[in-house]
Structure 1
Amino acid sequence: MVKKYFSTIFFALALLSFSPFLYAWDLAVSVGRTGQTQTTYRVGAFQDWSSRWLESSTGYVSGFWDMGLTRWQAGDLGQTSYSLSLSPVFVYQFKRSGSLQPFFEAGIGAAAFSKTRVGDKQLGGSLNFEDRLGVGFDYGKHRFGFRVLHYSNAGISKPNEGIESYSLYYSYRFD
């Protein structure tokens, strides 16, 4: 019976794990698709780094810590999986142009999946790496962007088919 409700239990525990951080972290939500037509929903919390590097007349490098809980829904296969991830993300923030401030982001982190099969992809294990590339813009406390997330185990276990999520996201800074 526990196995039947594992996904729901995993989702609830992951949400509870975010609760101590919600007062100090900012929030993000996203919706996306995989290359296998699965839908992904992601809720995240992030915290900006206070450091800036390589400042120039064009922009600067900064970053943030990102924690995310993703729901992987394979509608045609009737499967639902979850992943919990933590990543350091580097951001190249361009100088503000009017009220918009464009950026690029890149990061590599870790993710734990509730199942080793996500849709029709075999991940080979529950622990995987999360690689990301993104682009978007800040508008005051609001951030809008497009992000590609790739998950694989880097050949640590077999099979290593990997999976991607192409998503639009929105985040809000409470500070």
Structure 2
Amino acid sequence: MMLYWIARRVSLPLVFTSLLLPGFASAEPAKNPDKRWAAIVGAGPGFSNRRNELTQYRLAISKDLPWQWSLTEKWTVKTRLETSYFEWRSSLDDGDPSVSKRGEDLVHGMSLSPVWRLEYLPQWEVPIFPYFEFSVGASYITESNIVSRKTNHTTLGCHFQFEDRIGLGSDFGSERRWGVTTYAMHYSNAGTCSENSGVNFFELRLHYNF
């Protein structure tokens, strides 16, 4: 919830700024291409206070948006939009008596997320281009109850969930075709439903820019 609280208050002013002041967006240096697509695959472990022993798998595609700000010669803020399909799989054994039988061990989901990226354009010769990202998006999951190792299953409350994340990553190569990003992610409904257990993930992603 703390991640959601911080990201929501930072992201909303940026949304309105990007919509109302697109004329202030400035061109990026030649080595920092924009308006490209990215194909993304990712996976990583998940956890909650009820020990779900989850793994998340993701397929995604994203597109750079036209709104960007060159803060200095080396630092640029960029925006993009990402849509994803993901699965949460539990490794809990159905035969274990400590596992709740009321939840599901496989959850499918879709998400749509605006992303803000702070990029660094280094002066060194090595073709590595690091960045920091954060996002507050919306997602839909097929199951709101997930198996757990405690008597009560993890209850996310409803099918709609916020997808909050922060990440560190880098593009590689002179044309910046490939990249790797690691994320800390949080899913919850922010109190919009009667139950709101929430789940968290660490995710490693590989993306290809085209």
Output the TM-score relative to the length of structure 2: 0.68
1:51: Cα distance to partner?
2.9
Is 2:121 aligned against 1:88?
no
Is 2:166 aligned against 1:133?
yes
Q: Which is further off, 158-167 or 115-124?
A: 115-124
CA distance in 2, matches of 1:25, 1:102: 18
Partner of 1:13: none
Partner of 2:142: 114
Partner of 2:65: 49
C-alpha RMSD over aligned residues: 1.6
1:119: Cα distance to partner?
3.6
SS in 2 for 1:34: strand
Is 2:76 aligned against 1:76?
no
Partner of 2:38: 26
User: Which one has a bigger Cα radius of gyration?
Assistant: 2
Which 5+ residue runs of structure 1 have no aligned equivalent? 1-23
CA distance in 1, matches of 2:46, 2:137: 19
SS in 1 for 2:67: coil
- Which one has a larger percent strand, Structure 1 or Structure 2? 1
CA distance in 1, matches of 2:188, 2:93: 21
Which 5+ residue runs of structure 2 have no aligned equivalent? 1-35, 95-104, 149-153
Partner of 2:98: none
Provide closer, same or farther for how the CA distance between residues 119 and 149 of structure 1 changes in structure 2, counting only shifts above 3 A. Answer: farther
CA distance in 2, matches of 1:34, 1:133: 15
Q: Partner letter of residue 46 of structure 2?
A: T
Is the contact between residue 77 and residue 119 of structure 1 (CA under 8 Å) also seen in structure 2? no
Work out which of the residue numbers 61, 65, 82 in structure 2 matches 1:66.
82
Identity of aligned residues (%): 26
1:3-58 deviation line (CA, Å, top 9, x unaligned):
xxxxxxxxxxxxxxxxxxxxx94310001000242111001011112332142033
Paired positions, count? 151
SS in 2 for 1:145: strand
SS in 2 for 1:49: strand
CA distance in 1, matches of 2:134, 2:128: 20
CA distance in 2, matches of 1:77, 1:67: 32
SS in 1 for 2:202: strand
